[in-house]
């Protein structure tokens, strides 16, 4: 390992939307910063997730940076929900516009970061055989950036092509006339399946848990709507930040329980939102995420729509989810359920006919052999903690993050973790992150960190460290809020339930406005819960 003489105020790990904005803010404030990025380009999630049909589930006018008035005025989105290529183009535009690339080192992965107590700095090592020194370490590593490959016997024996949706190749994948198998039916699969079906000669989908999906109703951007938003973008953003998920559509449309609204008005409201498309569906009433009886009404409504759409009643029943709607992140689709009416598309319920193994020709289930040219793994991510724990991070007394988080992530505000001084996480576990519009959460975290660094500089503090008690209380608080909702009732990746052996802890903080308020209170109370030295 080459000991570098390079010394920084801050090392930022990652150059997705979080890393890019963090770098920009640090430079604005006059800090010497570098970003290490494992990809050969910016964009994070939107760099890696290039599977056919990849599209954002938050509307374009909301899913964009707000920090630059000129940027948000000048950038034109072409659709209601942006596709991956357009979002990646936007990320590249931001990198160029703010001249970020000169401080991003691409194709460079951070492999370890060790805190030197005597020198009060981080020693950061990369896979380029270099170590650099930095006062601050800022993890902008994303929540869904470590892919999950299922533990199925014989995966390596399959002789066809395999792809994971989260690591889709950059060059086009030709599926024309091919027999394609898809494992998984989460958001990625639900978006990809209609596209894969368009090309493939045969498509077989292996489903473990059916998912709720609402039509996205994507369309071209409406110039009148765009003009109206741009006429007062600040107010538009401010209103969105007041919504529970920092997404306009998640604001309850009426402050009433589904149980307090009589038929036919109740169904009409759900139908109106189904026709409108998107997350607004869950805002139909004020308690769909809180009250099982209300939730059942919305869930049954969606099951009814699936039965309407899917011709074969048996297939429709297999596709109809029976868990709590919204307990796993709700999916938005374009023609997902319709795809199962195509004669060359088949659904296999692996609860009834389990996958035994992959073999040279394809997938062997208990009852059948399915031969494929291509198998697509749409099997998700080791979410929120996966990437952080793949880096050997060591804090005070050489304690590793892996050891500290062996029973689940422990953070204070989802921004810091006790005994890892001067380390910050952007959208870390314990913050709203994945339950929100990620860009809004990212901007809030970056601004909080930037203000903290400024405060430390102004007050000549060298170290910030979360207090262990404050952290314990925070973890309990995050779980207590989650327990007031229906979120913990299913096997979601929010709980780590998708990864065998991962501790089951509800990781994100439910609610954005209440979280922002807590972060502001902490600052106003002179960084309550932190030791500043």
State the residues that interact with ligand NAP by CB under 6 A: 55-57, 144, 150, 165, 183-189, 191, 208-209, 329, 332, 350, 378-381, 434, 493, 498
Torsion 128-131-135-138 (CA) sign: positive
In whole angstroms, how close is the CB of 363 to ligand NAP at the nearest point?
10
Residue number with CB closer to ligand NAP (151 or 460) = 151
CA torsion through residues 509, 512, 517, 521, sign: positive
In angstroms, give the least distance from the CB of 339 to ligand NAP: 15
Shortest Cβ distance from residue 148 to ligand NAP (Å)?
Answer: 6
Least distance CB 31 / ligand NAP (angstroms)? 31
Nearer to ligand NAP, 36 or 340 (CB): 340
> Minimum distance between the CB of residue 162 and ligand NAP, rounded to whole angstroms?
14
In terms of CB distance, is 181 or 395 closer to ligand NAP?
A: 181
Q: Is the Cβ of residue 55 or residue 178 nearer to ligand NAP in the bound state?
A: 55
Identify the DSSP state of 252: -
Write down the least CB distance from residue 186 to ligand NAP, Å.
Answer: 2
Place of tokens 């209300």: 294
Cα 162 from chain centre: 23
Q: How far is the CB of 459 from ligand NAP (least distance, A)?
A: 39
Nearer Cβ to ligand NAP (82/131): 82
Residue nearer to ligand NAP on the CB measure, 185 or 427: 185
How many other β-carbons are positioned within 10 Å of the β-carbon of residue 263?
A: 8
Reduce the DSSP state of residue 200 to 3 states and report it: coil
CA pair distance 442, 512, nearest whole angstrom: 12
Percentage helix, strand, coil for the chain under 3-state DSSP, each rounded to 5: 35, 20, 45
Q: Which is nearer to ligand NAP, 49 or 108 (CB)?
A: 49
Neighbours of 291 (CB within 10 A): 17
Q: Residue 241 CB, nearest distance to ligand NAP (Å)?
A: 19
SS3 sequence, 68-110? CHHHHHHCCCCECCCEHHHHHHHHHHHHHHCCCHHHEECCCCE
Residue 15 CB, shortest distance to ligand NAP, in Å, is: 19
Q: Which residue is nearest to ligand NAP (CB)?
A: 186
12 vs 144, beta carbon nearer ligand NAP? 144
Nearer CB in complex with ligand NAP: 211/419? 211
Pairing of strands 374-377, 392-394: unpaired
- Cβ neighbors of 308 (< 8 A, separation 6 or more) are none
Cα distance between residue 413 and residue 445, in whole Å: 10
DSSP code of 65? -
Determine if the peptide bond prior to 264 is cis (ω within 30°): yes
């Amino acid at each position: 390992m080459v000991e570098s003489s390079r010394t920084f105020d801050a090392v930022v790990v990652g150059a997705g939307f979080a890393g890019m904005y963090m770098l920009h803010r640090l430079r604005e404030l006059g800090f010497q910063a570098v970003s290490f990025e494992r990809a050969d380009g910016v964009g994070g999630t939107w760099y890696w997730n290039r599977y056919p049909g990849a599209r954002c589930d938050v509307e374009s006018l909301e899913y964009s940076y707000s920090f630059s008035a000129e940027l948000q005025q000048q950038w034109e989105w072409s659709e209601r929900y942006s596709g991956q290529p357009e979002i990646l183009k936007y990320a590249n535009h931001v990198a160029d516009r703010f001249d970020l690339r000169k401080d991003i080192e691409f194709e460079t992965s951070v492999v370890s970061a060790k805190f030197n107590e005597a020198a009060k700095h981080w020693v950061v090592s990369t896979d380029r055989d270099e170590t650099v020194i930095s006062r601050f370490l800022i993890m902008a590593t994303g929540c869904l950036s470590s892919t999950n490959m299922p533990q199925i016997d014989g995966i390596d024996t399959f002789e066809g092509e395999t792809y994971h949706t989260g690591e889709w190749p950059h060059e086009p994948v030709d599926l024309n006339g091919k027999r394609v198998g898809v494992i998984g039916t989460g958001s990625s699969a639900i978006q990809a399946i209609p596209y894969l079906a368009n090309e493939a000669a045969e498509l077989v989908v292996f489903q473990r848990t059916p998912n709720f999906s609402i039509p996205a109703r994507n369309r071209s951007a409406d110039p009148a709507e765009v003009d109206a938003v741009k006429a007062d973008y600040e107010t538009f953003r401010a209103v969105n930040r007041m919504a529970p998920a920092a997404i306009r559509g998640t604001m309850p449309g009426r402050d009433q329980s589904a149980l307090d609204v009589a038929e036919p008005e109740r169904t009409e409201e759900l139908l109106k939102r189904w026709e409108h498309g998107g997350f607004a569906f869950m805002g139909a009433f004020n308690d769909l995420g809180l009250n099982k009886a209300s939730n059942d009404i919305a869930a049954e409504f969606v099951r009814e729509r699936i039965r309407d759409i899917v011709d074969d009643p048996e297939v429709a029943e297999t596709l109809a989810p029976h868990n709590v709607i919204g307990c796993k992140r709700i999916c938005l689709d374009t023609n997902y359920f319709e795809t199962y009416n195509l004669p060359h598309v088949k659904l296999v319920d692996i609860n009834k006919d389990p996958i035994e193994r992959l073999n040279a020709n394809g997938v062997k289930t208990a009852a059948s052999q399915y031969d494929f040219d291509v198998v697509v793994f749409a099997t998700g991510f080791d979410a929120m903690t996966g990437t952080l724990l793949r880096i050997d991070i060591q804090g005070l007394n050489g304690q590793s993050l892996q050891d500290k988080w062996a029973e689940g992530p422990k953070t204070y505000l989802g921004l810091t973790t006790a005994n890892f001084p001067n380390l910050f996480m952007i959208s870390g576990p314990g913050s709203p992150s994945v339950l929100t519009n990620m860009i809004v959460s990212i901007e809030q975290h970056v601004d909080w960190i930037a203000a903290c660094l400024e405060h430390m500089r102004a007050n000549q503090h060298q170290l910030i460290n979360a207090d262990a008690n404050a952290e314990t209380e925070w973890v309990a608080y995050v779980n207590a809020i989650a327990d007031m909702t229906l979120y913990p009732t299913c096997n979601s990746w929010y709980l780590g339930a998708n990864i065998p052996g991962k501790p089951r802890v509800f990781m994100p903080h439910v609610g954005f406005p209440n979280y922002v308020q807590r972060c502001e209170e902490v600052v106003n109370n002179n960084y309550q819960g932190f030791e500043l030295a």
